Amino acid sequence: MADNPTLFSPYNMAKFNLSHRVVLAPMTRCRALQGIPNAAHAEYYAQRSTPGGFLITEGTSISPTSSGFPNVPGIYSDEQVEAWRNVVDAVHAKGSIIFCQLWHVGRASNPVYQPGGAAPISSTSKPISEKWKILLPDGSHGVFSEPHALTTAEISEVVQHYRQSAINAIRAGFDGIEIHGAHGYLIDQFLKDGINDRTDEYGGSVENRCRFLMEVVEGVVSGIGAERVGVRISPAIDHMDAFDSDPLGLGLAVIERLNKIQREKGRKLSYLHVTQPRFSLLEKTSLGESEEESVNLMEEWRKGYEGTLMCSGGFSRDSGMEAVAKGHADLVSFGRLFISNPDLVSKLKLNAPLTNYNRNTFYTSHPVIGYTDYPFLHTN
Ligand SMILES: Cc1cc2nc3c(=O)[nH]c(=O)nc-3n(C[C@H](O)[C@H](O)[C@H](O)COP(=O)(O)O)c2cc1C
């Protein structure tokens, strides 16, 4: 009998041959002044590259209305596409594969981030509750503002923005894109019944709530091909009020539709990326409270999805190894540990001690501090 795979076993993901299964999770780092990636980005991503490794970029704006954080890069203008090319080239020079995460925050924004100080857009006109705070450009925290609920015609325009951004990403040299459908942002604002209060064909039944995501997937696949497309969801994460009354059913509904697209196209998507139910972005969990419940949801989704499954959220070396060995995940993405350990892959392989991360510099704009100045185990 073949040995169980480990985090360091090779893996074939659609058209890409990965040499190991430790993936850089997408992480917003707020270093792109004026929305343009720069030399610091090239260094940051190159530091985390390994031959045959796989990186996913920070959430990247698909249009001028997409942002709700300071200094988020975009992929909608020619200048941004050109700037990303330098980053991608630096990563490819180290032998890694890199996908661009396409992001629209929807109502998780504020007029300071919107063109002309307009209201942010969403599936709904309900704002995020005041329990949650938005990081403003001056470093202070404010409230999320009341969004404009998209009309049906406006929804088609946003789908076009995803499609064009995917085409732009390929033009910049990216190997593919990840659709950010998780964590309470625009797509999740359609998926979750705790937010989506529409009465048209984009709201109500789970079928209708999945419609926007599926139109985005279809649009992007028609632009760049299924094998270059990953999808991220977090059915059991209620960050920014993104609560659903049936996370298991919602996850299975998305999975069923992705399977159908794959069968129809005769091609696999690159992967489905799921945030662990037990993980909370604020480190308290309200859903998937117990480890057991979390594992059950993940197992059901794993059983349902006919393709590569990537998991994220609170993984250590041991739990990552276990997830891969037991077949709960094909790939494991690491976030915070990859911030503070640029050579995380070799440290995990050697089981070497890991450097702790400093949360105070996650979202600051300095091009070096907390970004590219974490130490390597071996300097070479
Ligand atoms: C600083 C920071 C920024 C993040 N930004 C994003 C993002 O842009 N897109 C996304 O899908 N997830 C984002 N996440 C979530 C991570 O991708 C990951 O799922 C999370 O950190 C859990 O993994 P970890 O326990 O290995 O850190 C972010 C997390 C952190 C800590």
191 belongs to a structural domain: yes
Instruction: Give the ligand 1 atom nearest the CA of 232.
Output: 11
Does residue 315 have its Cβ closer than 6 Å to ligand 1? yes
- Alpha carbon 151 to chain centroid distance? 26
Does residue 232 have its Cβ closer than 6 Å to ligand 1? yes
In the chain the first and final C-alpha atoms are separated, in Å, by 39
Q: Check whether 115 has a pLDDT greater than 60.
A: yes
128-141 in b/e form (b: 16+ CB < 10 A) is beeebebbbeeeee
Q: Check whether 281 has a pLDDT greater than 70.
A: no
Q: How confident is the model at residue 284 (pLDDT cuts 50, 70, 90)?
A: very low
Cα–Cα distance between 249 and 263 in angstroms, integer?
21
Beta carbons of 189 and 106 less than 8 angstroms apart: yes
Q: How confident is the model at residue 172 (pLDDT cuts 50, 70, 90)?
A: very high
Q: Check whether 288 has a pLDDT greater than 60.
A: no
Q: Residue 98's closest CA among 37, 158, 159, 157?
A: 37
Mean pLDDT of 165-186: 98
- pLDDT for res 287: 45
Q: Residue 255's closest CA among 302, 202, 190, 191?
A: 302
Q: Check whether 122 has a pLDDT greater than 90.
A: yes
Cα–Cα distance between 221 and 14 in angstroms, integer?
14
Mean pLDDT of 276-285: 62
Q: Residue 205's closest CA among 245, 233, 232, 167?
A: 245
Cα–Cα distance between 221 and 216 in angstroms, integer?
8
Beta carbons of 275 and 182 less than 8 angstroms apart: yes
- Token pair belonging to 171: 């033009």
Q: How confident is the model at residue 2 (pLDDT cuts 50, 70, 90)?
A: low
State the virtual CA torsion across 195, 272, 216, 73 in degrees, nearest 10.
90
Beta carbons of 86 and 42 less than 8 angstroms apart: yes
Give the number of other Cβ atoms within 10 Å of residue 216's Cβ.
28
Mutate to test the pocket of ligand 1, among 21, 23, 28, 284 (most ligand atoms within 8 A of CB): 28
Beta-strand relationship, 54-61 and 97-103: parallel
Does residue 233 have its Cβ closer than 6 Å to ligand 1? no
State the virtual CA torsion across 341, 346, 352, 357 in degrees, nearest 10.
10
Give me the chain's average pLDDT, please: 95
24 belongs to a structural domain: yes
322 belongs to a structural domain: yes
Number of domains in the chain: 1
Q: How confident is the model at residue 277 (pLDDT cuts 50, 70, 90)?
A: confident
Q: What domain range is 193 assigned to?
A: 11-361
72 belongs to a structural domain: yes
Q: Check whether 302 has a pLDDT greater than 80.
A: yes
Residue range 185-207, pLDDT digits in tens: 999 999 999 999 999 999 999 99
State the virtual CA torsion across 151, 156, 157, 162 in degrees, nearest 10.
130
Residue range 56-107, pLDDT digits in tens: 999 999 999 999 999 999 999 999 999 999 999 999 999 999 999 999 999 9
Beta carbons of 212 and 124 less than 8 angstroms apart: no
351 belongs to a structural domain: yes
- Token pair belonging to 281: 């972005």
CATH number at residue 165: 3.20.20.70
Q: Which helix (H) or strand (E) holds 335?
A: none
372 belongs to a structural domain: no
178 belongs to a structural domain: yes
Active site residues: 185
- What residues contact 266, with CB distance under 8 A and at least 6 apart? none
Q: Check whether 314 has a pLDDT greater than 80.
A: yes
Cα–Cα distance between 235 and 297 in angstroms, integer?
10
DSSP 27-84: ------GGG---HHHHHHHHHT--TT-EEEEEEEESSTT---STT--BSSSHHHHHHH
What's the CA-to-centroid distance between 24 and ligand 1, angstroms? 10
Does residue 26 have its Cβ closer than 6 Å to ligand 1? yes
Residue nearest to atom 18 of ligand 1 (CA): 335
- pLDDT for res 293: 67
Does residue 25 have its Cβ closer than 6 Å to ligand 1? yes
Residue range 212-255, pLDDT digits in tens: 999 999 999 999 999 999 999 999 999 999 999 999 999 999 99
Residue nearest to atom 1 of ligand 1 (CA): 362
- Token pair belonging to 185: 């942002």
374 belongs to a structural domain: no
3-state helix, strand, coil in the chain (%, to 5): 35, 15, 50
- Token pair belonging to 154: 């406006």
Q: Check whether 258 has a pLDDT greater than 60.
A: yes
Residue nearest to atom 7 of ligand 1 (CA): 27
For the chain, the residue count is 380
